[in-house]
Structure 1
Amino acid sequence: MNTTVSSPPSADTRPALKFITCGSVDDGKSTLIGRLLVDSKAVLQDHLAGVQRQGETDLALLTDGLSAEREQGITIDVAYRYFNTETRKFIIGDAPGHEQYTRNMVTAASSADAAVVLVDATKLDWRNADLKLLAQTRRHSLLLKLLRVPSIVFAVNKLDAIEDPTLAFTHIRNALTEFAATAGLTVTATVPVSALKGWNVVEAAADAHWCSYSGPTLLDLLEHLPVTPADVSLPVSFPVQWVEKFSSSSDTSQGRRVFWGRVATGEMTVGQAVKVMPSGLSANVAQVLDHARNPKSVAAGHSAGIVLDREVDVSRGDWLLAAGGEGDTLTAERSIRATVAWLDDEPLVAGRVYWALHGHRWVKAKVQRIVHKLDIHTLAEEEATQLEPNAIGHIELALQEPLATRPFAESRALGALVLVDTASHKTSGALLVA
């Protein structure tokens, strides 16, 4: 896929792009980020000198900061790095490729605007026109779709080590295109790169027709990708994170408590009728404060302090939901159907009870039924009695207390839950409301 780009505006007028690199282990994710940082002049010389090994620069060490990562040569935790070009600022998350650290990849992807999926050409039967992709490449790509990451870019890496890079890129690109079509993935571009040599990452390859590709470099693509739009078209919803009981600024709070949090959907304005969930009490918004305590309307994605026109019982974990308008009020339910990315080391079985986190609210949740699991190789839905670690499936949950949710396809904030083991307190699964 060849993509043309136009000249972007200056970095000061464009929001920062938060993207992750993912894919199978040792596909070159950390090296790619290191190349982006070095070639965009975002690394100081003393830092660069600190990642020298036997006279050679090990670009992966610029992101693999944990001692265990450096000893084993793998990425374990998500490492965030920041850099900017003349046209844009970037926040990069280097996600691990090992199956056992899939939960870390899911965490990073849940808030990403874009993802670069690395594909190691040397691990594939690139001479075969019907080659099979690695399981982790498929799994990470499916998770990106489930998590509604807006832009997905495939970067075919290590083509410098291939005898016939043009043939390899053609076959791999075709395999990725076929997989994306079958899985329903919308792919922005497929780009040939060599992170080690720096070809087509920041600068174009020396051979202008390398791999028969004439499109933009990876950085050119990233400079033009959109950020995730806020859910401002939906009715307002607001998860309460903190209750300020005695405001230090009585002139703005009108002597009442201030409820602080981040607007999840819609726009919070004065006069808005809201219903407190789960109590069901109603009130009107008397004042809206921004993060600096300035009275003003606040849209989705931004922090706000809400003052109600009367004293009602509101605590951390409660939701303030739009009320009064047709179709505004959500119905709280005690049962939900959801897609789950299972992240625990123990299998998921029906009958188990977990803590479910929705916004800042914790409720007990019992797994009523495992509907089916997804075969990542065939993309077929299969009957299942349990979900193994890193499996993707559909389940039914019974909640101890009702929650007001929306399908994840409509709202990331209202449609996402996290399951936590009640004994170990480990994150067990990522739930996406169907």
Structure 2
Amino acid sequence: MSILQIWFTSSCFIFLETILCFLVGVAILEFPNLPSICSNESELLPAQIWEYYSDWPSTHPVKSIFNEFIQVVVDAKGAGIGASHSTPTLQELQALEQGAQRLISAGVQDGWGEAHRDKWSRSRLADWNKDPFFQICSTVMSLKRGAAERELVAREYYMKQFLSMHANAWSDPAKAILYAAAQAASHEVSRTCQGKSEVETSAKLTEKIGANIRRVIEAANVGAIPLPPGSFLSFGSASMQGWKDWQGADFAIVVGTTVLGRPMYRVALFQAKWETARGKTNVSHGDGGQLDEIHSTGMGYYVSYPNTFHGRAFFTTTRPVPGVFRDVWEADDPPNFDIDTCYDGGQAAWDLAAFLAIAMTSQDDLSCGRLFPDAQAVADVLSLGRDKPLVPHVLAMDTTGALNVHEMVQRLKLKGFDNVTSASALSILDVIGPRTDGPPQDHSGRPFKW
């Protein structure tokens, strides 16, 4: 090779190297939130770290979606949906009290406390005219200035329900996503589906919950904002047309969670009912046959959509079927099919969003739903062991990182479901890969896809 050829070849390599460095520099400037993939550094920027959620600007791609969910809830409560009547019933008060306690027991740090109550009770009219805090409080809790402090205390759950929609209230962002997505969906659907059938309402509810979860996952993935170590979230859905009501269930929720140290799928079936009177719904369909059928599954729940009475509607609640079965058949002959929507024989009904984020992800509650070891077992139980779907809509999530939601919904497709989707949120290992400076990890990093 001549000296001229050597010079020319070296010049080309230098030119290409310069162009490559320039393009990398442009990419880093254009996408400042992306991880440093062109160096040995594995640190993330604050905008990629969930612990900095409080410091994220309102325009942050993930935080802006949470704020949209929160606004949906505030708007619904302002319209009287998911709100309190002027005089709550005893059953409603019990649901509010136990709802607040459930969030506290789950370790949710919503920030509401005695300081807020003091601020409320000592406020002046001038404060109400200029402080957004009071505007939010009055809208969310349906209280006017001058209301007694005991009313504030009784309705604190509404504020905790609202404040818990912020991702930083939860130690696990995956649960925060589930809670906020379901809370926004249930309020929106209760507002927009008044007067529609339970089948239509349930289809809309599952569609909105799924769409909300996917929005957050997609925004986080595009912005390279991984869930922190130990947090995982995969989501899938399955639906079908021409469904027949074999077991009296309108939809199913499947959550992969670690139970007593073992990754398991938890399955719950939901039969939806609109309120027929304030705090009451009727479960007499088929002379009680529908109740018998869903009770026989061992994983049934009634979900009650709140109807508007005198301009107000409670929030969406859920009760386990065994409690409903007891209420119906312990009554004097004939059985009483009009059951409470807020109270379950010593235990208050669950707020649906809290049920999804807390009860369905529980690591030690063996009474919630039914547990299955693998995707095939779930597909079998949701199709009666045959090629006939048990319900028209399935929402599936995994919070363990060890179960395969994509495989599960594909197996459901083989059972007759027409439409299946799946998506997974980035984990910390997807972005920075497995550690090389510490102990071995259980989960190896997957290739990061741009």
Give the TM-score category using the shorter length. under 0.3
Computing the radius of gyration over CA atoms, which structure comes out larger, 1 or 2?
A: 2
Please give the TM-score of this superposition, normalised by the length of structure 1.
0.25
Q: Relative contact order (alpha carbons < 8 A, sep ≥ 6): 1 or 2 greater?
A: 2
Q: Greater strand share, 1 or 2?
A: 1
Q: Greater helix share, 1 or 2?
A: 2
Please give the TM-score of this superposition, normalised by the length of structure 2.
0.25
